[in-house]
Amino acid sequence: MSERNSTPSPISGSASDNGDDRTDTDPTEDQLTDGLDLGFDGAEDILRSWRRGMRPDPDLTVSEWADDHRWLSSRASAEPGRYRTARTPYLREIMDALSPRHPAQRISFMKAAQVGATEAGNNWIGFVIHHAPGPMLAVLPTVEMAKRSSRGRLDPLIEDSPALKERVQPARSRDAGNSMLSKEFPGGILVLTGANSATGLRSMPARYIFLDEVDAYPASADEEGDPVTLAEARTTTFSHRRKVFMVSTPTIRGLSRIEREYEASDQRRFFVPCPHCGAMQWLQFERLRWDKGRPDSAAYHCEGCEQPIAEHHKTQMLEGGEWRPTAVAGDPHSIGFHLSALYSPLGWKSWAQIAQDWLTAQGSEETLRAARNTLLGETWVESGDAPEWQRLADRREAFGTQIPEGGLFLTAGVDVQKDRIEVDVWAWGRGLESWLIDHIVIPGGPDDPQCWDKLTALLGRTWAHSNGAVMPVAKLAIDTGYEAAAVYAWARAQGFEQVSPIKGLEGFNRATPVSGPTFVDATIGGRRLRRGARLWSIATATFKTETYRFLRLERPSDEDRALDLPDAPGTVHLPDWIDTEWLKQLVAEQLVTVRNKRGYAHPEWQKMRERNEALDCRVYARAAAWILGADRWDEATWRRLEEQAGVETRPPLAPAAVDSAAPEPDAPQPARAGTPTTPRRKRRAYTPNFMRD
């Protein structure tokens, strides 16, 4: 139900064309200029600008503007042509809350993927350009995404809507004020930027702010603070006239920005009538039911009469729907909306597709999290229970060689302590399957030059692969949390191709768990060097959560092993030589829920025991794999690595061939922690392509 002024605003054709949408009670231009002397050059231009500034905001809603003026381009929409709010009735009240006459100042929309939220924001942009000009800031997760949005969405919005095309000059014209990230129009300007750019966020005062996909924003913009806080600070001078529209698909419970905003609002839900009994209800996933193994039979069951509702009733239900608040907001000017994919119009996401997607997601926390976020528009509750170290001890394996066949490259994680440096070397394969192949403790600490010499020697060391090759460490990530100056000096001396200094960041960062590198000042030999080190920032909480999830993966059954079936992606293999102290360090932390001073709950990793170096080194080695690009390699890259390592993609060995594949009598024995054993036969050196570039 719209809360705007119910007074109709008749708009004549000529007024609509030139943006002069006045009601009968608005002052005329003659009244505004009555008694003013027009007897000097330029007076008419001054008065024209003055009249435009004095005229009240139009009594027109964003949804009415969209229906009258918005045209969807085939470049940016699956349904090109005139925009129709009736296609997505649930967006009407959200858009109307963005209209100048609506009292709301903060509007949050927590929603499933692909329900039309971004187009509602684009309609607001068009309305501002045409009818309520002023400074406007649109923020996307990154500057690159802002550029893509400008090309793919805003340019078609302006080009295909005549009312906007005449107000925003083409980018190719001289001094047009229209660039990739800036659109000038009479009375205002639209600036697009990324949440990763502190400069863009503080570029200007803004009356209107559109924050899109806020849960994908980085934790900090160029280390200057929360991007949402920085953006909202731009609206201070506009007081009660400001509008902030925050939109996102949610992510993790307690860390989700959009969930926090929604819970602080009046928490509106879209109630629709049952076509059988008329009972008003908001759609819940638990009431979508289907026959076992037949997601195509999905139907929604009314909570009033329990009758199944076929999907062809959805259009009628959406037309009769209305938003109802379910809570009392602490701020009366803050309203919030929540919507799941169950409301998607016919022809978009069907109930049968939702059921199928949910069934497909079963069996994997990663896919279940994505389904909960994108289908239900709800946050995911991370499971931070530490695996039992005894269970990990029972799963230790005897590797035939230092690096089993699936290992394709090595990374090292280095933790610097006061009296020692600890190093864990991990081998990585497809699907981020990993093997711990060495654990090294270098005594002495950062004040001892010999300690750094031994760490340097580690960069030239190699480990034996099962195929007869030897591998060096492709990337070493070293923490700068203790004695950063000494770490920077050593890293510079080795070169940043093989060594990456890192700094851990608090909290989760789903947009990108690793950011950088950034150039930071370093003190080398007592001399301060500006931009002397390249520092990577890592969201340690994200990698700890992933590590625990991988450690909880079920191991293959005896029947699966008999068939030589591969382990699940992400499986962590621990060698039989690792001791119980190391295992206890690996599971030394727990994800707990804490509340800040404002009462907001958020998950936080906390130590359950004092020593946790094994977990830290694992996180650093995992970050090194990310920096190398392992999370972004395509199939061709993985195949090249397999070819270089001599690992062929082949079907499982037949039982009769197992004996012939046994290792030769003079093959090296499994190596223990420390310096690798010297092989009896000459081995070829294996250097991945990314180390040669």
Summarize pLDDT for 149-158 with one digit per residue, the tens: 998 889 889 9
Reported as a single tens digit per residue, the pLDDT across 268-306 is 999 999 999 999 999 999 999 999 889 999 999 999 999
Which residue from 201, 203, 208 is spatially nearest to 142, judged by alpha carbons? 201
CA 117 to the chain's CA centroid: 17
For residues 521-533, average pLDDT: 68
**Residue 402: is its pLDDT beyond 60?**
yes
Separation of alpha carbons 607 and 619, rounded Å: 15
Tell me the three state secondary structure of residue 235.
helix
pLDDT higher than 80, residue 655: no
pLDDT confidence band for 445 (50 / 70 / 90): confident
Exposure class string for 361-373: b at 16+ Cβ within 10 A, else e: beebbeeebbbbb
Q: What is the pLDDT of residues 457-469, one digit of tens each?
A: 999 999 999 888 8
Q: What is the mean pLDDT of residues 472-498?
A: 91
| Choice between 412 and 222, residue whose per-residue pLDDT is larger | 412
Q: What is the pLDDT of residues 125-144, one digit of tens each?
A: 999 999 999 999 999 999 99
CB 601, CB 254: distance < 8 Å: yes
What local confidence, expressed as pLDDT, does residue 252 receive? 81
Helix, strand or coil for residue 635? helix
Task: Compute and round to an integer the Cα radius of gyration of the chain.
Answer: 30
Task: State how far the Cα of 683 lies from the Cα of 248, in Å rounded to an integer.
Answer: 53
Q: Is residue 57 very low, low, confident or very high in pLDDT (cuts 50, 70, 90)? A: low
Question: Which has the closest alpha carbon to 514: 494, 493, 534, 492?
Answer: 534
Is residue 280 helix, strand or coil?
Answer: strand
| pLDDT score for 666 | 32
Chain-centroid distance of CA 249 in Å reads: 9
Q: For the purposes of burial, counting CB atoms within 10 Å of the CB of 618, is it exposed (0-12), middle (13-18) or buried (19 or more)?
A: buried
What's at 167, amino acid-wise?
R
Task: Give Cα separations from 310 to 54, 296, 316, 357, 427 (angstroms).
Answer: 53, 11, 11, 19, 52
**Which of 167-176, 470-479, 605-614 has the lowest average pLDDT?**
167-176
Averaged pLDDT score across all residues of the chain: 82
Q: Which pair of tokens denotes residue 359? A: 């069934």
Q: pLDDT tens-digit profile of 19-29? A: 444 444 445 44
Instruction: Output the DSSP codes for 380-431.
Output: B----PPPPHHHHHHT-B--SSSB-TT--EEEEEEEE-SSEEEEEEEEE-GG
Q: Distance (Å, rounded) from C-alpha 663 to C-alpha 679? A: 14
pLDDT at 502: 94
Residue that wins the pLDDT comparison between 669 and 314: 314
pLDDT value at residue 439: 96
Tell me the three state secondary structure of residue 463.
strand
pLDDT of 33 > 90? The answer is no
pLDDT at 563: 65
**The predicted structure's pLDDT at residue 657:** 29
The two three-digit tokens of residue 543, written as one number: 């990698």
Q: Are 619 and 544 contacting, i.e. CB atoms less than 8 angstroms apart?
A: yes
Residue 650 has pLDDT above 60, yes or no: no
Residue 684 has pLDDT above 70, yes or no: no
Give pLDDT, residue 58: 60
Confidence grade of residue 561 (pLDDT, cut at 50, 70, 90): low
pLDDT, residue 513, reads 86
> According to the per-residue pLDDT averaged within each range, which of 389-403, 434-448, 531-545 is highest?
434-448
Q: Which residues contact 296 (CB under 8 A, 6 or more apart)?
A: 290, 352, 355, 356
Contact 57, 100 (CB under 8 A): yes
Q: pLDDT tens digits for 326-370? A: 999 888 899 999 999 999 999 899 999 999 999 998 877 778 889
Q: What's the average model confidence in pLDDT over 635-641?
A: 89
Residues 6+ apart with CB under 8 A from 258: 108, 109, 110, 214, 215, 246, 247, 248, 249, 250
Q: SS3 for 631?
A: coil
Inform me whether the pLDDT recorded for 261 exceeds 70.
Answer: yes
Letter for the amino acid at 665? P
- β-strand 135-140 against 208-212: which pairing, if any? parallel
- By DSSP bridging, strand 334-339 and strand 268-273 are parallel
- Would you state the pLDDT for residue 616? 95
**Is the pLDDT confidence value at 634 over 60?**
yes
CA neighbours closer than 13 Å in the CB half-sphere of residue 480: 24
Go through the domains of the chain in sequence order and give each one's CATH number: 58-267+327-339 (3.40.50.300), 276-322+349-377 (no CATH), 389-649 (3.30.420.240)
Structure tokens at 649: 């993609």
Q: How high is the pLDDT of residue 524?
A: 65
pLDDT(265) > 70: yes
Q: Tell me what pLDDT residue 296 has.
A: 93
514-524 and 527-539: which strand pairing?
A: antiparallel
pLDDT tens profile 81-114: 889 999 999 999 999 999 998 999 999 999 999 8
Residue 52's pLDDT is 63
In the structure, what pLDDT confidence band is assigned to residue 213 with cuts at 50, 70 and 90? very high
Instruction: Tell me how many degrees the CA angle 530-532-538 measures, rounded to the nearest 5.
Output: 115
Q: Is there a contact between 403 and 467 (Cβ–Cβ < 8 Å)?
A: no
Position 506 pLDDT exceeds 90: no
pLDDT at residue 654 is higher than 70:
no
Cα–Cα dist 151/140, whole Å: 14
**Residue of 42 and 247 predicted with greater confidence:** 247
Q: What is the pLDDT of residue 63?
A: 94
DSSP for 141-206 reads SSHHHHHHHIIIIIHHHHHT-HHHHTTS--TTSTT--EETTEEEETTEEEEEEETT-HHHHTSS--
Separation CA 187–CA 133 (nearest Å): 5
Mean pLDDT of 572-577: 94
Mean pLDDT, to the nearest integer, of 381-400?
82
pLDDT surpassing 50 at residue 663? no
Q: Is the dihedral of CA 122, 124, 127, 129 positive or negative?
A: negative
Give me the pLDDT at residue 595, please: 65
As a whole-number percent, the residues of the chain with pLDDT over 90 amount to 47
In 3D, which of 293, 315, 244 has the Cα closest to residue 88? Answer: 315
Q: How many angstroms separate the Cα of 490 from the Cα of each of 192, 409, 419?
A: 41, 23, 17
Pairing of strands 463-464, 470-471: antiparallel
